[in-house]
Amino acid sequence: MMTGMPLLSLLIWVPVLGGLLVLAAGENRASLARWAALGISLATLALSLVLTAGFDSGTSHMQFVEMRPWIESFDIYYQLGVDGIALPLILLTTFITVLVVIAGWEVIQNKVAQYYAAFLIMEGLMIGVFSAMDAMLFYVFWEAMLVPMFIIIGVWGGPRRVYATVKFFLYTFLGSVFMLASLIYMYMESGTFEITSLYALPLGMSAQVLIFLSFLAAFAVKVPMWPVHTWLPDAHVEAPTGGSVILAAIMLKMGGYGFLRFSLPITPDASRELDWLLIGLSLIAVVYIGFVALVQRDMKKLIAYSSIAHMGFVTLGFFLMYAIVDRTGSLDGAAMGLQGGMVQMISHGLISGAMFLCVGVLYDRMHSREIGDYGGVVNTMPVFATFMVLFAMANAGLPGTSGFVGEFFVILASFQANFWFAMLAATTLILGAAYTLWMIKRVVFGDVANDNVAALQDINRREFFILSVLAVSVLALGLYPAPLTDLMSSSLDNLLNQALGSKLVP
């Protein structure tokens, strides 16, 4: 392990300070801003690779721990650390950010420096969320992250961006307030904000249920789970491509991460008590949202709804464990559910990012997201069409792509919990293929639909690069997920033990 170098701090502050530098470059030097942003995001990616190289996947302990007093009067520390759950998400963040920087290259001509600064700062804050080991620090990053996203949608967004930003902000902010209250309550009980200490804090059932529900309010909005999902389609539709990518690929994952970092280990008894609620909402997300996605006419909305359905697998996988252990008495199925949820998060990050980038490619050319405005894109953009069909297949969970792995694990696990869970979850095979391929049929295939499509230019080198990097990642993870599952397994097993234990006061 690299001792001495505060890697996690660097991962957070390099992009944040870098973002401020880019901002300082000013609006008159757009090209400098672009290159600086690319350099900073690449440096951050490199740092995250160093982090991975030094990471020991054999243990579930927090690694690369940093601890400094921050607000001593309230026992709040600047405390960082990563385990096998946070690390893949940090890697996803640094990886996707590089692609987003490249994706905006020629597209963003308005306030370039501010655009890139917002994304870099957001990157640092998101890494902060995934590496904070102090609940208050986590909360600060969690809320701070909203600001750059608010700006990105509000400044570079579409015509209804104000409605979308306000909805997005209020929804997510409202959820988090309850979480804050719970954190303060637990501080009063235990005198600490250290997350791992909270794992050991005994809590009565009614306290646990209230804490669980307040966490649920915060995390369910972020995931988003039905019925608090309606901000997402609006936010996606109005966000610029880069914003959509970050939103779908990373921000949604924070909800899932929250369940693993807070809900399950801090309130295990309440989780057991209320698992039916989470499973029910997840299955509704899969089925209900699947049908809703089918009838969307706006490509971004369709992909947004598809995201909600796919994230349903994440929460389903996380909360299956109690039912599985009750029915089979074995931890194996429960571990499979957790792994499935985690793999689904990473995979969805790649695939939804790729899908939004594909829509972005089309939008940059035709300035329309309406499915009905397209048709026969393959005739004029054959290379692009190949990528889009590949990502569509990945979105439909084709084996050999990453989209299959998580869903496969979760469906296998849910069968062990209850046949009907598996059956409802498996409808995604049909629904996911239906809404994705129907869109592909109407957008990509067919004869050239109109003059605008006839005038389309195939993707340029920059776009080709982004999409091929994502395509390789999606295939690599689908054909060989073992490195990812191995990286996470110790931490997830440890989590499983905590979540299956009891903290009730005797």
Q: Is 213 in the site for another protein (CB under 8 A)?
A: no
Residue 489 binds to another protein (criterion: CB under 8 A): yes
Closer CB to another protein, residue 19 or residue 340? 340
- Binding another protein (rule: CB under 8 A), the pick from 393, 443, 453, 459 is 393
391 within 8 A of 351, measured Cβ to Cβ = yes
Cα-Cα-Cα-Cα torsion 135, 167, 295, 468, nearest 10 degrees, comes to -60
User: Least Å distance between CB 32 and another protein?
Assistant: 36
Binding mask 13-52 for another protein (x = CB under 8 A): ----------------------------------------
Q: Which is nearer to another protein, 44 or 416 (CB)?
A: 416
In angstroms and rounded to an integer, the radius of gyration of the C-alpha atoms of the chain is: 22
Whether 11 and 40 have beta carbons less than 8 Å apart is answered as no
User: Is residue 400 close enough to count as binding another protein by CB under 8 A?
Assistant: yes
61 lines the binding site for another protein (CB under 8 A): no
Adjacent-strand bridge partners of 76: 71
Per-residue tokens: 269: 């008894």
Considering all CA atoms of the chain, what is the largest pairwise distance in Å, rounded to the nearest integer?
Answer: 74
- Would you give the binding string for another protein spanning residues 442-461, x where CB under 8 A is met? --xxxx--------------
Is residue 480 at the binding interface for another protein, with CB under 8 A as the rule?
yes
84 scored as a contact of another protein (CB under 8 A): no
* Minimum distance, C-beta of residue 317 to another protein, in the bound complex (Å): 11
Nearer to another protein by Cβ, of 16 and 417: the residue is 417
* 85 within 8 A of 492, measured Cβ to Cβ: yes
Q: Is 209 in the site for another protein (CB under 8 A)?
A: no
Instruction: With residue 367 as reference, give the H or E element that holds it.
Output: none
Tokens of 362: 């089309």
The 10 Å Cβ neighbour count of residue 218 is 25
Contact map string, positions 98 to 137, toward another protein, x by CB under 8 A: ----------------------------------------
Question: How many helices (H) and strands (E) are present in the chain, helices listed first?
Answer: 24, 2
Q: Which of the stretches 187-195, 311-319, 326-334, 355-363 binds another protein when contact is defined by CB under 8 A? A: 326-334
Find all residues with CB under 8 Å of 25, minimum gap 6, and list them. Answer: 32, 33, 36, 113
| 43 vs 469 by CB, closer to another protein | 469
Are the beta carbons of 284 and 226 closer than 8 angstroms? yes
Residue 286 in contact with another protein, rule: CB under 8 A: no
Cα separation, 132 vs 144, in Å, equals: 13
Q: Are 339 and 485 in contact (CB under 8 A)?
A: yes
For residues 134 to 173, the per-residue mask of contacts with another protein, x marking binding by CB under 8 A and - elsewhere, is ---------------------------------x--xx--
Nearer to another protein, 17 or 433 (CB): 433
Quick check: 406 and 485 in contact, CB under 8 A?
no
The per-residue DSSP string of 227-273 comes to TS-THHHHHHHHS-HHHHHHIIIIIHHHHHHHIIIIIHHHSHHHHHH
Q: Which of 317, 333, 349, 403 binds another protein (CB under 8 A)?
A: 333
Q: Which of 32, 201, 433, 500 binds another protein (CB under 8 A)?
A: 433
Give the interface with another protein as residue ranges (CB under 8 A): 167, 170-171, 227, 230, 288, 291-296, 328, 331-336, 339-340, 376, 378-379, 389, 393, 398-400, 404-405, 408-409, 411-416, 419-420, 422-423, 426-427, 429-430, 433-434, 437-438, 441, 444-447, 479-482, 485-486, 489
